[in-house]
Amino acid sequence: MRGFVQSDRPVTLLGGGDCAPGDLRVALARAPLLVAADGGADRALALGHEPALAVGDFDSISAEARARLGAARLAHVADQDSTDFDKALARIDAPAVLAVGFGGARMDHTLAAFSTLARHPGRRCVLLGGGDLCFLAPPVLDMRLPVGARLSLFPMAPVCGRSEGLRWAIEGLAFAPAGVIGTSNAVAAPDVALRFEAPGMLVVMADAALDTVLAALEGAPQW
């Protein structure tokens, strides 16, 4: 269907924000099909990559990039009540999305990206940047991780859950954005199990865990 991307493999989504070339290489090695969000198309072309589709309100993409991609690879969405990240994520049907270029130097862009993850609990999306990764936790998540590895939890909505294998167990805690949060927790045993009663919990870890996270998300139930 025109304006949508369907893939049986993970997809890389590139935004127009700060993006280390290494982050894009890491994403494309695991998700070679590339989609650009608005001005991310210019960044992709400048780095020698051809997006399968560019999505957005097109207030950032250049005329040169639009001409290069052609009408068949442009999905214009005029909605001003959603970000380009929202627009693009909603038009990708894939097992997972690796998103790069949606945070970086601007704190408001990073917060907007976190909000997008929370608004799309049915999408498996891992945000990469600054040496970290972030994703919305599914109802059940099991991972084998190095003892001592950082595993931070930040709620985007009121959330309760249970954990095994963390230094500080989360059972009995009522997480909320302006209340209890779980930053700087750590792995205490190799097998980590997380269970949540509702969507809304972000998991933040070092990006060295990317392959482990992708495998865990693939086997996890959906919200």
Other Cβ atoms within 10 Å of 1 Cβ, number: 7
Q: Which residue has the higher pLDDT, 198 or 77?
A: 198
State the residue for tokens 């009121």.
158
CATH topology of domain 5-130: Rossmann fold (3.40.50)
* pLDDT over 90 percentage in the chain: 87
Give the pLDDT band (50/70/90) at residue 173: very high
- In whole angstroms, give the CA distance from residue 66 to residue 200: 36
- In whole angstroms, give the CA distance from residue 82 to residue 188: 39
Q: Give the tokens for residue 108.
A: 């408001």
The pLDDT of residue 37 is 95
- In whole angstroms, give the CA distance from residue 160 to residue 88: 30
- Let me know: does 204 contact 134? Beta carbons within 8 Å: yes
Residue in 218, 220, 222 with CA at minimum distance from that of residue 10: 218
CB neighbour list of residue 75: distance below 8 Å, 6 or more residues apart? 2, 3, 4, 53, 54, 55, 56, 87, 91
CB neighbour list of residue 80: distance below 8 Å, 6 or more residues apart? 57
In 65-129, DSSP assigns E strands to 74-76, 92-93, 97-100, 125-129
For the chain, give every domain's residue range: 5-130, 140-207
State the residue for tokens 């269970």.
195
Task: Indicate whether 197 pLDDT > 50.
Answer: yes
Task: Indicate whether 99 pLDDT > 90.
Answer: yes
The pLDDT of residue 26 is 96
pLDDT tens, 117-133?
Answer: 999 999 999 999 989 99
- In whole angstroms, give the CA distance from residue 207 to residue 205: 6
Give the pLDDT band (50/70/90) at residue 1: very low
Given 2.60.120.320, 3.10.290.10, 3.30.390.30, 3.30.300.30, which CATH number is that of 140-207? Answer: 2.60.120.320
pLDDT tens, 13-57?
Answer: 999 888 888 999 999 999 999 999 999 999 999 999 999 999 999
The pLDDT of residue 81 is 77
Residue 57 CA to its chain's centroid (Å): 20
Residue in 137, 184, 127 with CA at minimum distance from that of residue 162: 137
Q: What is the pTM of this model?
A: 0.94
The pLDDT of residue 2 is 61
Beta bridge partner(s), residue 11: 33, 97
Per-residue pLDDT, averaged over 184-194, amounts to 98
Judge whether 5-130 and 140-207 match in fold: no
- Let me know: does 191 contact 164? Beta carbons within 8 Å: yes
Per-residue pLDDT, averaged over 106-123, amounts to 92
pLDDT tens, 131-172?
Answer: 999 999 999 999 999 999 999 999 999 999 999 999 999 999
DSSP H or E stretch at residue 60: none
